[in-house]
Chain A
Amino acid sequence: MQQVVFILKKELQDFFISPIAYIVMTVFLLVTGWLFFSAFFVFDQADMRNFFNLLPMTFAFVIPAITMRLFAEEMSTGSYETLLTLPVTFRDIILGKYLAGLALVAALLLPTLSYPLFISFMGELDWGPVIGGYIGALFMGAAFTGVGLFASALTRNQIIAFITGAVICFALTVIERMLFFVPGALLKIVSQLGASLHFQNIARGIIDSRDLIYFVSVAFLGLYASHLVMQEKK
């Protein structure tokens, strides 16, 4: 377990050494901030529903950009070999990298906490959905980070890792809007696969174990698949 902490620490350090973390954060804050506040004053309502509506889509692109380097960069510089010959298990490596990615997602959300603060000065803000929204955002971030990590483990090319991760996350996000094309028999199953649906449930302030289990399962699948990929690469 200690090894996980060392790897996590090192990966976090790496995020802030490379410009990627700063670029991704800037883009994320700019896009969400502009999209949210440009509509905010039109609706003239003191809530954050619009922000959380946009979040699944922005996360689908921003999180793979964070996770793309985790494995791909190591494989392209060759440091993957040095890492794998240190006394650490695959599990230590995957968990360390995953938690580092998740920590960065949390860091990404941190500045947006100022939005509800400002809004609460302007009107009566119902804090329930806001807290639910942030909890949901963390769980969704956990799921997408797992997917992104898997995409990164597949290739030594960071761009391919980004696109693969973004495509999977995007598909999970929009799947419930495509239900029209799904045959009736599968409808029930497929409708449960969408990330937005589960996220919106939590963001309404209803914390249902089914929604949490969904995100945890996606994250776990991502980590397990990464483990299989590492095993295969030996």
Chain B
Amino acid sequence: MIQVEDLTKFYNDLCAVDHISLEIPKGEIMGLLGPNGAGKTTTLRMLTGYFKPTSGRIRIKDHDVDEQPVAVKGLIGYLPESAPLYPGMLVYDYLSYIADIRGLRGEAKIARIRDLVDHCGLHDIMHKTIGELSKGLKQRVGLAHAMMSDPEILILDEPTSGLDPNQIVEIRDIIRAIGQEKTVILSTHILSEAEATCDRIVIINKGRIVADDRTANLKNATGGMRQISLGLQNATEADTLQTLGTLEGVADVTARPNADDGVLDVTLTCRSGSDPRAAIYAAVKATDWILLEFVQHARDLESIFRELTKEN
């Protein structure tokens, strides 16, 4: 569906996107993740033909973005970051204008606008000017704008930024519903969002791809590196380190007394592939320590993200 080959973009001397290659099949929801300034928006803008790449090629279906921009723009519905729409226009006038430009006529146009109004919950704001709308409502109008022609590819730049938790859930549901038959590319820096909506996650940092995998794989790949937290009473730091540090499968132990109640907070890092929980329990049981807490954390996307994108 979308092939990106060796895409590079320079702003004067600054390299915003550095030799990115990607292939996105039909019907996939892909999340583009990265810290601020990583090149997410620039990449999306090149995909939509708004920016011209410094080098590299983008093919969408059978069209080259550079050679047939209008055909490509007809296939793509795009919602730019923070939905920059004409602030002076009424919502209805705006949607009607987009429908005209997108080639919808007569009955089909009215029916499509009705559908989108239902889908995006725009009933009460059709006769308000866009400039008056709150950020969340504007975002919904933007979503309706992007979906107007029922495009095969939907590109959303930070679709949930600035929304309240309820609206985020709503937009996520909409995206997932669309993603069943369409190709969706969305950028975000909110990890839980990518985790909840995307089939595939591409993490970019400083213009380069640092990770590209199915969401589930990305989480499992590091799942072996588990961490276990314990809360122990009656235990001393030295004893804990000695008793637990020597256990099979434990890579590292840190212990620190909690300032509030004197309970010792112990964090164990496990070697990948091992599960020392039973051994830990047995070791604690053999002492006169009181076990108050025993929690296992799988390493989440957040720590993966931090590791991949931290400085140097």
Select the stretch in A11-19, A114-122, A142-150 that faces chain B. Answer: A11-19
Q: Is there contact, CB below 8 Å, between B101 and A17?
A: no
CB neighbours (8 Å) of B103 from chain A are 87
CB neighbours (8 Å) of A14 from chain B are 86, 88-89
Mask of B68-85 contacts with A, CB within 8 angstroms, 1/0: 011101101010101011
Separation of A178 and B178 alpha carbons in the complex (Å): 65
Select the stretch in B48-56, B247-255, B263-271, B276-284 that faces chain A. Answer: B48-56
Chain B interface residue count: which class? 20 to 34
Does A81 reach chain B (CB closer than 8 Å)?
yes
Q: Is there contact, CB below 8 Å, between A17 and B52?
A: no
Within 8 A of A (CB), among B119-176: 145
Q: Is there contact, CB below 8 Å, between A81 and B87?
A: no
Mask of A88-121 contacts with B, CB within 8 angstroms, 1/0: 1100000000000000000000000000000000
Separation of A218 and B89 alpha carbons in the complex (Å): 32
Assuming the A-B contacts A6-B97, A85-B78, A234-B51, are A78 and B84 also in contact, with contact meaning beta carbons closer than 8 angstroms in the complex? yes
Q: Is there contact, CB below 8 Å, between A234 and B50?
A: yes
Chain A interface residue count: which class? 20 to 34
Q: Is there contact, CB below 8 Å, between B70 and A79?
A: no
Does A209 reach chain B (CB closer than 8 Å)?
no
Separation of A103 and B70 alpha carbons in the complex (Å): 27
Q: Is there contact, CB below 8 Å, between A81 and B70?
A: no
Separation of A36 and B114 alpha carbons in the complex (Å): 53
Does B100 reach chain A (CB closer than 8 Å)?
yes
Does A77 reach chain B (CB closer than 8 Å)?
yes
* Minimum Cβ distance to chain A for residue B221 (Å): 35
Separation of A78 and B85 alpha carbons in the complex (Å): 7
Q: Is there contact, CB below 8 Å, between B70 and A84?
A: no
CB neighbours (8 Å) of A81 from chain B are 45, 50, 80, 84
A-B pairs, 3 with minimum CB distance: A78-B84, A87-B74, A234-B52
Contact surface of A with B, Cβ cutoff 8 Å: 3, 6-7, 9-10, 13-14, 17-18, 77-82, 84-89, 234
